[in-house]
Structure formats: C-alpha cells, structure tokens
Amino acid sequence: MIFIFVVAGLLLFSAIVMGLWNAILPGVLGVKPISFIQALGILVLSKILFGGFHGRRFKGGDYSSAWKQKMAEKCSMMSPEEREKFKSEWKTRCGGKWNLRPPADTTAAKPQ
C-alpha cells in the first residue's frame, strides 16, 4: 500500500512541476513547455544534484545530534588542559562564538 502512495505522490508532484513550468517559465524566460516525462526527469535530476541518495546513518536521530554526542564523548576523555587547548584552537580558527567580531571604531575622525 505504501508503494502505491509513493508512486501516486511522485506522479502528482511531477504533474504539478509540469503545470507550473508550462504556466510560468515559457512566458518569463521564453523556454519551451515540457512533457510529463521531462518533468519527472527534472525531479530526479534535482534529487541527484541537491538531495543525493544517502540514507540515515544514525538510527532514530539526525546528524547534528549524533555529532554532538560524539564530540561530548571526546571531550569527556580529555584532560582540562587538553580541553582548553582544543577550545582556544577552535576559537582561533572560527573567530569565537558565531564568528562575531567587535564593531568598527566609529569615533575615528572622518576626513572633511
């Protein structure tokens, strides 16, 4: 039953892409209208280029939470000196928290 819903969704989405393409792009960009098969091809191509075909590597979670957990484990095994060295090295590489820089000095004399 899931297979039928997936195929129906893919066909519906392809029809929507074809309809939007044919309604908008020929008038705006002067391109030719596309067929249903071409719309399906555009969907597959966009999946390859922008989404890839990778699956979930970590069960039940996303990549960022697994990365955070892995880093927490590494930090727990470090001595306090190693941890401070690691933090200072990354501050140097990344420019501190969120790469914030102090605002420019606006009190400097402006040429007249």
pLDDT at 75: 84
What angle in degrees, to the nearest 10, is found between the helix axes of 2-29 and 36-46?
A: 100
Residues in the chain: 112
pLDDT at 78: 85
pLDDT at 76: 86
pLDDT at 17: 92
pTM, two decimal places:
0.46
Q: In the chain, which residues have pLDDT < 70?
A: 52-63, 95-112
Give 38-47's long-range contacts (Cβ < 8 A, gap of 24+).
Answer: 39/14, 39/15, 40/10, 40/14, 42/17, 43/10, 43/13, 43/14, 43/17
pLDDT at 25: 92
pLDDT at 52: 67
